[in-house]
Amino acid sequence: MNAIVDVESTEISASVSLSERGPASAQVVAAFGFWLFLLSDIIVFSALFAAYAVLSGQTNGGPSAIALFDKRHVLYETICLLASSFTCGMMMIATDRRDVALMYFSALVTGTLGIAFLWMEFSEFAHMVHLDAGPTRSAFLSSFFTLVGTHGAHVTVGIAWLIVMMAQVGTLGFRPMVVRRIVCFSLFWHALDIVWIGVFTVVYLGAFS
């Protein structure tokens, strides 16, 4: 009888201890929500890749990919974005060390490389439109501009986010809330690099294969 009472009291105390744990911490909730966001973004890009794969040959008598793409230009874009991924990693190391100077320097280089990438992408779009190869010219160009333009829009948001993070470090320091946001930015930026590798491989290299 005493054993049964002891078991019941143990179960009650265990349930009480579980109920007293309360909701998950802000760090856990933020990490879970951000991973959901990244997964949803990957689904969006997967759909855009699928659309491009289906429509890449539908030129409607207009210029094809091999006639429009400049391999050297795309190589410079890729170098800028991949280099920014390295400097973003350096920014995270500086954040872990609470090194403000290195964090600012790495963030500045990351943002500069991102802006250079956007400028080259915009110049590519402008050149194609000048050649009467805009997004309304054919299904191929519609899918191309949508896929690459969506990635460019994400890079633009990332640069704006990086500027906000630099401002928050300057005003708030390395508080847990700020560090958590920097980590989320780093994941976002590396995810964009992974997507660009897919764009570089499927869109540009695929055109010359």
Residue 63 has a pLDDT of: 84
Answer whether residue 182 is part of any domain.
yes
Residue span of the structural domain in which 46 resides: 26-208
Answer whether residue 169 is part of any domain.
yes
Answer whether residue 11 is part of any domain.
no
Answer whether residue 70 is part of any domain.
yes
Q: Any idea what the CATH number is for the domain that residue 77 is in?
A: 1.20.120.80
Best CA proximity match to 60, nearest among 132, 164, 165: 132
pLDDT band, very low/low/confident/very high, at 4 (cuts 50, 70, 90): very low
Answer whether residue 178 is part of any domain.
yes
DSSP string computed for 39-91: HHHHHHHHHHHHHHHHHTT--TTS--HHHH--HHHHHHHHHHHHHHHHHHHHH
- Rounded Cα–Cα distance for residues 81 and 73 (Å): 13
- Rounded Cα–Cα distance for residues 9 and 176 (Å): 39
pLDDT band, very low/low/confident/very high, at 168 (cuts 50, 70, 90): very high
Helices (H), ranges, the chain: 2-19, 26-55, 65-68, 71-97, 100-130, 139-172, 176-199, 206-208
Answer whether residue 56 is part of any domain.
yes
Whether residue 102 is predicted with pLDDT greater than 60 in this model: the reply is yes
Q: Number of structural domains, the chain?
A: 1
Answer whether residue 19 is part of any domain.
no
The pTM for the full model equals 0.84
